[in-house]
Structure 1
Amino acid sequence: MIKVAMTNVYVDDVARAHAFYTEVLGFETRVHMDLGNDTLFVTVGAPQGAQPDLQLLLEPGQGPVAEPYRRAVYEAGLPCIVFSVDDLAAEYARLTGLGVRFAHEPQEQGPVLAAVLDDTVGNLVQLVQPRG
């Protein structure tokens, strides 16, 4: 069986992204390696082993491919990744209390409730909660 092991999000600052994704969103650090020349290799994952094999690579978003892609996706208002939550209303309240800016508040979108936040490092991120 093929399973997703890692996916990436291009970010404009890996250290700031690491802080946001761990301290604000609540992910755990899985790998944090200094590769030299101000280059970090950082992955995060869901806390408490919820998805122990799945990692999110916080990948530098500079360069001739990543930067135009990341900017175009952001300017189009598209989330670069979707995370599920058990209680969207509670997460929305918690995150807005921490100063997180949302591009749109929780709303019904077909089979889910969804909200979109700005991750402060160049991306929009969607949070979804299944309805019913």
Structure 2
Amino acid sequence: MRIKMCSLHVKDPAAAHAFYTGTLRFDTLMAVPEYNLYIIKDPATPENGTGGGSVGLLLEPSDNPIGANYMNALYDAGLPAIVFGVPDVRAEYDRLINAGVVFRGEPAEDPSGVSAVFNDGCGNYVQLHQD
């Protein structure tokens, strides 16, 4: 058994797709704009051409009240909706700051490792964690 897909509720799937593929550099697994359907995946790696097993991340419209309540409650509590692993949090922080991404603070280290949290502009906080 493996994880095939999970979802992240967003305010605007098309805008989220543009941010996640353009700024965060994920790859598009599927885009069907006429159905407001956008699925991204880890970027392809040069070694094998696949993105971490190609687990899909559905950029889920938050037009369902249950999804919207969940997304808004996480955001209001300041909790990240998802965690992405990166090899170097400080380098990714610098790259994203230069791209205009707003972080809640500078990278910090604790017993679990180095991490930083940013606002995706689509209704979520996202945590970067050093692999």
**Common fold by TM > 0.5:** yes
Q: Which range moved further: 54-63 or 92-101? A: 54-63
CA distance in 2, matches of 1:107, 1:116: 10
Identity across aligned pairs (percent)? 41
Please list every run of 5 or more consecutive structure 1 residues that lacks an aligned counterpart in the other structure.
none
* Residue-pair matches, total: 126
Please list every run of 5 or more consecutive structure 2 residues that lacks an aligned counterpart in the other structure.
45-49
Which residue is 2:52 aligned to? 51
CA distance in 2, matches of 1:65, 1:42: 20
CA shift digits 1:56-85 (9 cap, x unpaired):
100001222011111000010100000000
* Structure 2 contact 8–59 (Cα < 8 Å) conserved: yes
Which residue is 1:111 aligned to? 112
CA shift digits 1:2-55 (9 cap, x unpaired):
111111100000110000000000000010113x4xx31110011112313311
Q: Deviation above 6 Å: which 4+ runs of structure 1? A: none
Normalized per residue, the structure richer in strand is 1
Q: Which amino acid aligns with 2:37?
A: F
For normalisation by structure 2, the TM-score amounts to 0.91
Q: Output the aligned Cα RMSD.
A: 1.1
Q: SS in structure 2 opposite 1:15?
A: helix
Which residue is 1:18 aligned to? 17
Q: Deviation of residue 110 (structure 1)?
A: 1.5
1:75 aligns with 2:76: yes
